Amino acid sequence: MTEILIISHSKDIASGTKSLIEQMAAGVTVHASGGVGDGIGTNIGQIDHMLSEVESDTICFFDIGSSLMNLEMAVEMYEGDHDIRIANAPIVEGSFLAAVEISIGKNIDEIMDELSGMVK
């Protein structure tokens, strides 16, 4: 089953989005990270750590600016066996849609096709 990874500059956005998905699409694995330390931001180390924990193909969502840059670098350095994709879709709406699609058994290609119609 495909997993979801959420990267936000805000801890509240990351944890809130994860909570929404877990309530609406039980059984879907969601990894979320937001903020650096007690502040705001993202870093490659956080993302790399989450990627090391994925157990299947994963769709990644990001919010603004450097979160994409850090996510792209972490995915480039990823040495695991799973298909890791970055979605260019809104972080909340996109990850929610992906979770629903995962919960009904769609594969990563089908989900990425669905997400491609969303405007970020």
Identify which of 118, 120, 2 has the alpha carbon closest to the alpha carbon of residue 60. 2
Q: Where along the chain do its domains lie? A: 3-116
**Helix/strand/coil (H, E, C) string of 83-109?**
CEEECCCCHHHHHHHHHHHHHCCCCHH
* Whether the Cβ atoms of residue 44 and residue 78 lie closer than 8 Å to each other: no
Please list, in sequence order, all residues whose beta carbon lies within 8 angstroms of the beta carbon of residue 61, skipping any fewer than 6 positions away.
Answer: 4, 5, 6, 7, 17, 87, 89, 91, 94, 95, 98
How high is the mean pLDDT of the chain?
Answer: 95
Type of residue numbered 6: I
What class, spelled out in words, does domain 3-116 have in CATH? Answer: alpha beta
Q: Which residues of the chain have pLDDT under 70?
A: 120
Give the per-residue pLDDT at 5: 98
In the block, residue with structure tokens 């924990």:
53
In three-state secondary structure terms, 77 is helix
Residues classed as catalytic:
9
Give the per-residue pLDDT at 65: 84
